Amino acid sequence: MNYELVSIDPNFTLAREVAAQLGKPLIFPEVITFADGELEIKLPQDISFDRKTVIILQSTYAPVHDTLMKFAFTLHALKNAGAKACFCVIPYFAYARHEESCQFPEKAGEVAVVAALLMAGGLDALVSVELHTDKVADFFFGPVASLSFAGDIMEHIKKQAEAQGVALENICLVAPDKGAERRAQTIAQKLGCKQLTFTKERYAADKTRITSSDGEVLCSHAIIIDDIFDTGSTALSAADELKKRGFSHISGYFVHPVFAGDAQEKIESSVLEKVYIYDTIPCRVRSRKIETLSAVSALSECIPQLPVLLTCNSESGSECSGSCSSCSHK
Which residues are marked as active site?
A: 200
Contact 104, 116 (CB under 8 A): no
Contact 193, 169 (CB under 8 A): yes
Give the type of residue at 3.
Y
Contact 60, 67 (CB under 8 A): yes
CA dist 279 and 293 (Å) reads 7
SS3 content of the chain, % helix, strand, coil (to 5): 35, 25, 40
Contacts of 265-268 spanning 24+ positions with Cβ under 8 A:
266/231, 266/232, 266/236, 267/232, 267/236
CA dist 77 and 50 (Å) reads 12
Q: Which residues pair with 232 in a beta bridge?
A: none
Question: Reduced to 3 states, what is the DSSP secondary structure of residue 36?
Answer: coil
Name the residue among 308, 307, 267 with its Cα closest to residue 290: 267
* Structural element, H or E, at residue 292: strand 290-293
Name the residue among 114, 238, 94, 126 with its Cα closest to residue 180: 238
Contact 53, 85 (CB under 8 A): yes
CA dist 177 and 214 (Å) reads 11
Q: Which residues pair with 55 in a beta bridge?
A: 5, 87
Rg for the chain (alpha carbons), in Å? 21
Contact 139, 111 (CB under 8 A): yes
Q: Which residues pair with 123 in a beta bridge?
A: none
